[in-house]
Chains A and B, each alone.
Chain A
Amino acid sequence: MLKVKNLHATVDGKEILRGINLEVKAGEVHAIMGPNGSGKSTLASVLAGNEKFTVTEGEVEFEGQNLLESSIEDRARMGLFLGFQYPVEIPGVTMANFMKIAVNEQRKFRGEKLLTAAEFLKLMREKAKVVELDTKLTSRAVNEGFSGGEKKKNEIFQMAMLDPKLAILDETDSGLDIDALRIVATGVTKLHTDKNATVVITHYQRLLDYIVPDYVHVLYKGRIIYTGDKSLALKLEKEGYDWLINDYKE
């Protein structure tokens, strides 16, 4: 589904990604861990197409297409979803309206029939249940006045609405209390099938108790330096990164 080869990217002339190699297949869950500043969020942003970053080298293939040549919106419409670490507020635009546009843009792109208002409302009620989102939130402005937990639930709600092929969740667990974490993580698990794939970026093993990864990657200084299975996350939780990164320190 996703093939990243030797990906390099810079921001303001500074190289953040220094040769990422990653392959994600349908049905898989990948976790990306690593110390602060190692480039995890940058990787998510670059894959989504954020123009703040410049790709200087490498290739990314998504569903057989050259991802780097597509616009941000086309990547989204092709089925790439980014769950934001800091979801943005859009005052005066209701969540429902925002989602209706997003869903129909995707359907239009795929040559599918647009949803009527009634069909859309039905879909929205159904999907809100996935993350136990109060449907009242859908008539409020996008993320405006949402609590930290509501914002993160709202990201997963949007993921449920858009039903992506590949979801990249950037620290979706940060700032969540124990109950909210369970709800958000269970939501993600419910959405997982053998046809789609999930990449979770996290600092904590506890998220991976719910979302069980097939692979755990450690990102450090812009490179994936180690890949293991779910037991790696447990080891990292106990022992930290030192044993891994010592060899790479300059």
Chain B
Amino acid sequence: MAEKNEKEILQDLTGEEYKYGFTTDIETELIEKGLSEEVVRLISEKKGEPEWMTERRLEAYRYWLTLEHPTWAHLDIPEIDFQDIIYYAAPKPKKQLGSMDEVDPELKRTFDKLGIPLEEQMALAGVAVDAVMDSVSVKTTFRETLKEKGIIFCSISEAIKEHPELVKKYLGSVVPYKDNFYAALNAAVFSDGSFCYIPKGVRCPMELSTYFRINAAGTGQFERTLIVADEGAYVSYLEGCTAPQRDENQLHAAVVEIVVERDAEVKYSTVQNWYPGDKEGKGGIYNFVTKRGLCRENGRLSWTQVETGSAITWKYPSCVLLGDNSVGEFYSVAMTNNFQQADTGTKMIHIGKNTRSRIVSKGISAGKSQNAYRGLVRVNPGAENARNYSQCDSLLIGDQCGAHTFPVVDCRNRTAILEHEATTSKISDDQLFYCNQRGLTTEDAVGLIVNGYAREVLAKLPMEFAVEAQKLLALQLEGSVG
């Protein structure tokens, strides 16, 4: 099915640029630039949070003040002035809305334009959406349907107020604020994101998804997402993101935590399409993300990511395989073009016995971009019979880009079996000539070859997202072939 559309998709693309670069003209409530204890308190107050949450934020903030910006990544990051960022921005409705569920028409139009209808009857079949613009969640669909099964799907802001016991128990349990620089910053100033809780033994009947949109200029977005699959539960979760085209850089520093209880399974898919900057490397989002999941006994966590956007991407969705027989998977396609930079990969931490992990990473570099894979496979002394398979491929397009791999294996148990395969390839002139000779233009041929290369990973995505991802890959390559 995916193939049937491939050509049509490629055809749509000719002459198209980043099509999500528009700005919504809506009044926005902004706080002053800069970061201080007062600002942290103000954010907490704006969100109407209880005292314990404010305290948690302040604790993280004080810790963050002691940290220095890390420099270990294979990235060239211009110095970020954290006092020059607006930490809270909320779209202000034009008129008094009739009910809590009503959404400002302007916002609705924005999400329609992004292909994310907020009316349930118009939504994609079987996908519930939490739409987040700047610092707040605009609307979460299908909440009632999900509630019947005991599933909680709402914004994290609401969860703090309505389900404090769950939030207290799980928030920061997988990614504590002391984890790293951006985790501390996020814990202090996080704005919105999604919360979902799947109760024991429940299989979530639809895909849950969050769509992140940055709109206001000069702001940072600090997404916080928490997913909990209780014993024997199952959920598939999708994340998408876009931002307007601007000359200055904007920061998106997210933390995503996933708790996979005993016998539970979580699939987490991302199609990351933040504004990547223009052809000269001006503008674009800095996407500095900490994503980690913890698996208990027989738990299974699968990360799938297609990273095409952002000026700089810095993220390592990881699995802590704590319980015996738990399984972690990471499937990634990271594509960079023009002056984009990406340093991405995963960590698989084997703690329980018979834990298994699988890593398939496909990097694609074009233009003058730099693309790095960084991975850690750690087998702790107690992880008897741990198994890992890693495959790490790089594809280069043109002769001015770079691909780098930094795989680390730290094995402390003799029974472990670890495999690592890696390839680096270029699209050959012979492949292009062969395609041309069958009537394909070079641009179409490159799109086709790249999609073929990424196929193993794209096949892991839910259908609607797979089509979207194929489009993105072809679109991002525009102008990369001479």
Contacts and interface: CB of A to CB of B under 8 A. Distances in A.
Interface of A: 48-52, 71-73, 75-77, 81-82, 84, 87-94, 96-98, 100-102, 104-106, 109, 117, 141, 158, 162
A90 B435 contact: yes
Contacts of B454: 92
Contacts of A117: 4
B452 A102 contact: no
Interface of B: 3-4, 6-7, 428-431, 433-441, 444, 448-449, 451-456
8 contacts: A90-B448, A92-B454, A93-B448, A96-B3, A97-B6, A102-B439, A105-B439, A109-B439
B295 to A, nearest CB: 30
A72 B444 CA distance: 13
Contacts of A75: 437
B261 to A, nearest CB: 36
Contacts of A109: 439
B6 A158 contact: no
B440 A102 contact: yes
Contacts of A97: 3, 6-7, 448
A49 B436 contact: yes
B437 A141 contact: no
Contact of A76 (B428, B436, B449, B452): B436
Contacts of A72: 433, 436-437
A75 B451 CA distance: 25
B444 A101 contact: yes
A91 B429 contact: no
Contacts of A94: 3
A88 B431 contact: yes
B439 A84 contact: no
A73 B439 contact: yes
Contacts of A52: 429, 433
A9 to B, nearest CB: 15
A50 B433 contact: yes
Contact of B452 (A84, A91, A104): A91
A92 B453 contact: yes
A73 B436 contact: yes
B439 A100 contact: no
A51 B429 CA distance: 9
A93 B446 CA distance: 12
B438 A98 contact: yes
B7 A88 contact: no
Given A90-B448, A91-B453, A100 B7 contact: yes
Nearest to A139: B3
